[in-house]
Amino acid sequence: MNSIREMFRGRWELWLDKRIPPRNRVTLNQKRIFIFPTWMGLGYLLTDFLLFVAGVNYDNTMILNFSFFLASLFVVSILQTFSNLSGIVVSAGHTEPAFAGAEAKFIIHLSKSKHKDHHSIYCSWSGFRSNPHNLIEQQQVTITALLPTSKRGKFKPGRFKLYTEFPFGLCKSWTWLDLDMSTLVYPEPREYPLDSNRTDSSDKGNVIIRDGQEDFSGLRVFNASDSLHTVDWKAYARRGVLYSKQFHGYQAQSRLLRWSDVLVSDKECKLSALCFWVLELSKTNHPYGLELPGTIITPGSGKQHEKNCLDALALA
């Protein structure tokens, strides 16, 4: 039973890929839009049918005409609902990675077709359901989708659905789009101890750099260039002279986070631990490097370096 469903799903996706191939920028047209009555629409049709039967049986032309009117309205509503979606240009915006278990951010842009308004367009994407969006005065709206992640690695959320029931709520037109968007999901950071015996870089380094931020080393007379955060206000209260606190930073000797340093055997746990330490070390502005099976990132610091490391962890 399950396998049949799987098979159908596979078929369906294949068919969709053929019909609406993944692209960065898509204009919605009849090839890409599906349409079907909503439950309310079906209720409406039932009402219409009942009126039709009543019209026939009471031999009442006007009730018959009324039911014809409702039917016509339904047909027009199909076209209008379709028209409300068609012509919109959907393009991929940027994405933001996330740690496993958190939500990754995907940005989609909808731009208005030239000559008509679009009302109440919703987006749903693997568990995410957007607020309605209107393209009336504004030329472009941005949908920010926060998608829950679970697994580390490259995250391709696949197709999302853009849909609308405007104007009557009788029909729903929708499209399944794949804008070929992806992002990385980093391992969930988890604190595991590192094997400090085996590493020469787990203790503080030898070189002391002045004006570091880590350890308090003494006071000196305030210098105009010193940060106000460093002023020892207590000392000022006692002596009436401004002193700056002085700290020492330690220049780590290229601290290297090694695959083998993590004392757990499970691969994912190891990655989680490395992720944790990368984040910890980033906070301290410490230069660090990363050594993974097959990948070595030379020590460095800064946002870009951190990202490189996390990317490597995500893809390991």
> What residue ranges bind another protein (CB under 8 A)?
24-25, 40, 43-44, 47, 50-51, 53-54, 56-73, 75-77, 79-80, 82-83, 86, 89, 91, 109, 111, 114-116, 119-120, 131-132, 134, 136, 140, 165-169
CB of 95 to another protein, least distance (A): 15
Task: Please compute Rg for the chain using Cα positions.
Answer: 31
C-beta closer to another protein: residue 79 or 209: 79
Q: In Å, how far are 106, 253, 279, 303, 312 from 271, measured between CA atoms?
A: 24, 23, 12, 19, 10
Question: Residue 47 CB, nearest distance to another protein (Å)?
Answer: 5
Cβ 111 to another protein, closest distance in Å?
A: 5
> Which has the closest alpha carbon to 67: 80, 84, 81, 52?
52
In the complex with another protein, the residue whose CB is nearer, 115 or 210, is 115
CB of 132 to another protein, least distance (A): 4
Q: Shortest CA distance to 143 belongs to which of 154, 158, 132, 155?
A: 132
Identify which of residues 172 and 245 has a Cβ nearer to another protein in the complex.
172
From the CB of 25, what's the least distance to another protein, in Å? Answer: 6
Residues 259, 209: Cα–Cα separation, whole Å: 29
Question: What is the C-alpha to C-alpha distance for residues 50 and 57, in angstroms, rounded to an integer?
Answer: 10
CB of 64 to another protein, least distance (A): 8
Q: Which is nearer to another protein, 48 or 261 (CB)?
A: 48
Query: 135 or 316, CB closer to another protein?
Result: 135
Question: Quick check: helix, strand or coil at residue 271?
Answer: helix
3-state secondary structure of 209: strand
Nearest to 116 by CA among 142, 78, 86, 143: 86
- DSSP E strands in the chain: the ranges are 25-27, 34-37, 89-96, 98-99, 103-111, 118-125, 128-129, 133-135, 140-148, 153-155, 160-164, 171-177, 183-186, 207-221, 243-251, 255-258, 288-292, 295-300
Give the shortest CB-145-to-another protein separation in angstroms: 17
Q: Would you say 110 or 275 has its CB closer to another protein?
A: 110
Nearest residue (CB) to another protein, 75 versus 264: 75
Closer residue to another protein (CB): 77 or 175: 77
Min. distance of Cβ 85 from another protein in angstroms? 11
What is the C-alpha separation between 90 and 126, in angstroms, rounded?
Answer: 18
CA-CA distance, 226 to 245, in Å (whole number)? Answer: 10
Q: Which residue has the tokens 């204009």?
A: 27
Position 21: which residue type? P
